Structure 1
């Protein structure tokens, strides 16, 4: 089998940071409440906890997402509304909150989103990060009929989209917290 860009690991690994005028506990309380993610996420419109205690390790969140037609418009992406499930894998109040995307069958994927909070000079440094180790089933579906040049193009453009989303998310979270 021929090696392809999609076989790279990690396929995606990005982070962005901002400073928020609030203490780490207050910032953590907001970012660990995934049901509020519609207030700041470019794609997630919110959702509900379906298993376990909200925000605790092992709990499962079902998110509602919306993607417009112009996002990497040439690629065969899911458009409109779709749903995902994620399991909390780290929940350390005032420090870190991470969740892993699950397959439609509920299996773990190497697709982890998270927030880290750290006190600095009376404020909080908030880091938002995403790492996809091996390509998920969804990525494999997207690139299945693409040639290698378009797969490389997809990874490049999707990486840029993710970076923009991380930055936009942080700016919106900062606004939400500082305007409370």
Structure 2
């Protein structure tokens, strides 16, 4: 039996970078404040810390998300508002912040979002990254009724969506931090 494209690992691995006119600490203070994500995320409308110390390793954040109809419109995605939970897996002030998505059963998934920060003169370079190792249950549900050609199209279209989201997020974070419109 031939393996499906959704069986590859990593399934998604994308990143983007931007220069920010602020210290690594100032950048970290913003990007690690997940309830503020509504200010920059194309989908996360913010949320609340539901356990642990905010932004600390092991803490759990419940995000409220909103996906518009036109996002990969042909695919059977969750539309409108839905909620996710994630656990902070790395919190190095001024350097790195990462969170792992949790399944509906509150188990770790190989779906990790993060930011890395490097000093660049008087400012910083901010990198936003996402990696999904094995496909999540949600991805399997989306592609369950697709033939392999449509699965490949979905992976291509979703990768492009992720890349655009990372770029949009970084531009918005830069604007928030630099206080530009």
Q: Structures share a fold, TM > 0.5? A: yes
Residue 141 (str. 1) matches residue 141 (str. 2): yes
**After the TM superposition, which residues 112-151 of structure 1 pair with which residues of structure 2 at under 5 Å, given as runs?**
112-151=112-151
Instruction: Identify the residue that residue 35 of structure 1 maps to in structure 2.
Output: 35
Gaps of 5+ in 1: none
Instruction: Identify the residue that residue 66 of structure 1 maps to in structure 2.
Output: 66
**After the TM superposition, which residues 4-43 of structure 1 pair with which residues of structure 2 at under 5 Å, given as runs?**
4-43=4-43
Query: Shift of residue 177 of structure 1?
Result: 0.3
Gaps of 5+ in 2: none
Instruction: Identify the residue that residue 153 of structure 1 maps to in structure 2.
Output: 153
Query: Shift of residue 121 of structure 1?
Result: 0.9
Question: TM (normalized to structure 1)?
Answer: 0.99
Count of residue correspondences: 180
Per-residue CA shift, 1:103-159, capped at 9, x if unaligned? Answer: 001000000000001101111000000000000010000000000000000000000
Query: Shift of residue 2 of structure 1?
Result: 3.3
The separation in 2 between residues aligned to 1:166 and 1:93, in whole angstroms, is 21
The separation in 2 between residues aligned to 1:96 and 1:108, in whole angstroms, is 20
Moved over 6 A (4+): none
The separation in 2 between residues aligned to 1:147 and 1:10, in whole angstroms, is 20
The separation in 1 between residues aligned to 2:16 and 2:178, in whole angstroms, is 18
Question: TM (normalized to structure 2)?
Answer: 0.98
The separation in 2 between residues aligned to 1:170 and 1:81, in whole angstroms, is 23
The separation in 2 between residues aligned to 1:162 and 1:53, in whole angstroms, is 29
Per-residue CA shift, 1:48-87, capped at 9, x if unaligned? Answer: 0001000000000000000011100000000000000000
